[in-house]
Amino acid sequence: MDRIIISDLKSRCIIGINEDERREKQDVTINISIYGDFRRAGQSDLFEDAIDYRAIKKRVFSMVEGSKYFLLEALAEAVADICLAARGVAKVEVRVDKPAALRFARSVGVEILRERES
């Protein structure tokens, strides 16, 4: 399968279980690998044959900015759902990192892999 990679999408949202995490938005970093068959777009060079990764990024960013999840796992699942709803996406790998989650660690992240259901 072919892959589109969206790297280090920065956003802010309410994420976490602690009281202070529920009050203030925190930084998250999202990495997305979108899988599909890109041969048609590669051969035609037509936008309508391609996956619109800009539209996916906009939907993900908007959802994340307005979200209030307790768990990184739930946020990653919501991102995957948006990606899989896009035409031409067969599979998606999503990694969500929360840089301020642990002292002495650069980041804590969750990575999931989801496929379109037949």
pLDDT band at 63 (very low <50, low <70, confident <90, very high): very high
Residue type, 5: I
User: Is position 10 annotated as part of the catalytic site?
Assistant: no
Per the CB < 8 A criterion, the answer to whether 4 and 31 are in contact is: no
For the chain, give every domain's residue range: 2-115
Which pLDDT tens digit goes with each residue over 67-117?
999 999 999 999 999 999 999 999 999 999 999 899 999 999 999 999 998
Task: Give the N- to C-terminal CA distance of the chain in Å, as an integer.
Answer: 17
Tokens of 94: 């999503």
Catalytic residue among 10, 68, 91, 98: 98
Q: Which CATH number fits domain 2-115: 3.30.1130.10, 3.60.21.10, 3.40.50.2300, 3.30.420.40?
A: 3.30.1130.10
Residue 59: what pLDDT? 98
Q: Which of 10, 34, 17 is nearest to 93 (CA)?
A: 34
Q: Is the pLDDT of residue 10 over 90?
A: yes
18 φ/ψ sector (left φ>0, alpha ψ -120 to 50, else beta): beta
What's the chain's average pLDDT?
97
Global pTM? 0.95
Q: Which residues of 27-59 are buried (b: 16+ CB within 10 A; e: fewer)?
A: ebbbbbbbbbebeebeeeeeeeebbebeebbeb
